Structures are given as C-alpha cells and as structure tokens.
C-alpha cells in the first residue's frame, strides 16, 4: 500500500538530495555558513548530513566559498533554479517557526515539497522577497 520512496541511490540518504535541491532553489547570492546551516536544518538537524550537503553542494558547484562567505555558484549550469511556491488555504502550522497559519506556502522542489511555511519563513528560505507581491497583492482577500 504505502510505497517507500526507496530509490537505491548510492549515497543512500534522500535528505542530502533534498538539501541540495533547497540550496539550488535559493535566490541568495551570499550567505554566511551559519545562515546556510540554519536553512539546511529545515531538512536535517544531523550535523553529519549538514556537512555532507555542504560538501556535495560545493562539489557540484551549487555553492562556492569565497573570503569566508559562501556564494551561490551561479556560473555552473544546474546550480540555480527558480523556486516554485504554492499557496494553499487551510489550517497549517509553519514548519519553521511554528506559528499557526490560515494559508500555507509550500516550496515545490524536484525532490518533493517542503512546507507548510508562513510568508515570512518562505521568503527567508528562498531569499525571494518578490513573493510578497504574490502574497499581498492577491486579487481576493
């Protein structure tokens, strides 16, 4: 009945794939390590997983380290992708800050969805503040 999502990848942990996916969809040029780790912790609070995500992101050119800060590897094909955010009405609780929501924002990644988040937290995660337009200029209220 319930199909486990068990594609036999060699790394054996889809949290790493999800972490890389999240980093790829972040529209943020430059971050400190702690800012990145804070976001990766949405996927895993395991320091070993966090380290693997960071290492692989660097290997794949999604991130590059420069003078103590970390930059998106914008020059590498596939290193960046437009984030897609879906808005759904319902009783939700923000996965990041725990606030209760009447609308949930879901970050749609290739590896699956993340959410729900409130508007502030989805902006924080994606680095895209133009979602505020979508969120607050929606035609109906």
- Residues within the interface to Zn ion (CB under 5 A): 94, 96-97, 118, 121
Say which DSSP state 109 is in.
Answer: E
Compute the least distance from the CB of residue 121 to Zn ion, in Å.
3
Q: Which residues contact 71 (CB under 8 A, 6 or more apart)?
A: 29, 30, 31, 63, 64, 65
- Nearer of residues 69 and 120 to Zn ion, judged by Cβ: 120
Compute the least distance from the CB of residue 7 to Zn ion, in Å.
31
* Spatial separation of the C-alpha atoms in residues 123 and 71, rounded to whole Å: 18
Compute the least distance from the CB of residue 133 to Zn ion, in Å.
19
Give the count of beta carbons closer than 10 Å to the beta carbon of residue 8.
5
Compute the least distance from the CB of residue 93 to Zn ion, in Å.
9
Cα-to-chain-centroid distance, residue 52? 16
- Nearer of residues 71 and 95 to Zn ion, judged by Cβ: 95
- Nearer of residues 8 and 98 to Zn ion, judged by Cβ: 98
Sequence-ordered strand ranges (E) for the chain: 30-31, 63-66, 69-72, 84-93, 100-109, 112-117
Packing angle between helix 33-40 and helix 14-25, nearest 10 degrees? 120
Compute the least distance from the CB of residue 39 to Zn ion, in Å.
13
- Nearer of residues 33 and 97 to Zn ion, judged by Cβ: 97
- Nearer of residues 115 and 118 to Zn ion, judged by Cβ: 118
């Amino acid at each position: 009945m319930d199909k486990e999502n068990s594609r036999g990848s060699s790394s054996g942990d889809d949290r790493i794939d999800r972490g890389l996916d999240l980093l790829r969809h972040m529209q943020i040029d430059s971050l400190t390590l702690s800012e990145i780790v804070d976001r990766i912790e949405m996927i895993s609070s395991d320091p070993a997983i966090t380290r693997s995500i960071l290492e692989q992101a660097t290997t794949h050119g999604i991130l590059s380290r420069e003078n103590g800060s970390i930059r998106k590897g914008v020059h590498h094909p596939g290193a960046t992708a437009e984030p897609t955010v879906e808005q759904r009405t319902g009783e939700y609780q923000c996965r990041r800050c725990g606030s209760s929501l009447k609308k949930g924002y879901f970050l749609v990644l290739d590896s699956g969805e993340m959410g729900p988040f409130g508007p502030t937290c989805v902006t924080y995660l994606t680095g895209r503040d133009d979602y505020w337009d979508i969120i607050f200029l929606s035609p109906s209220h």
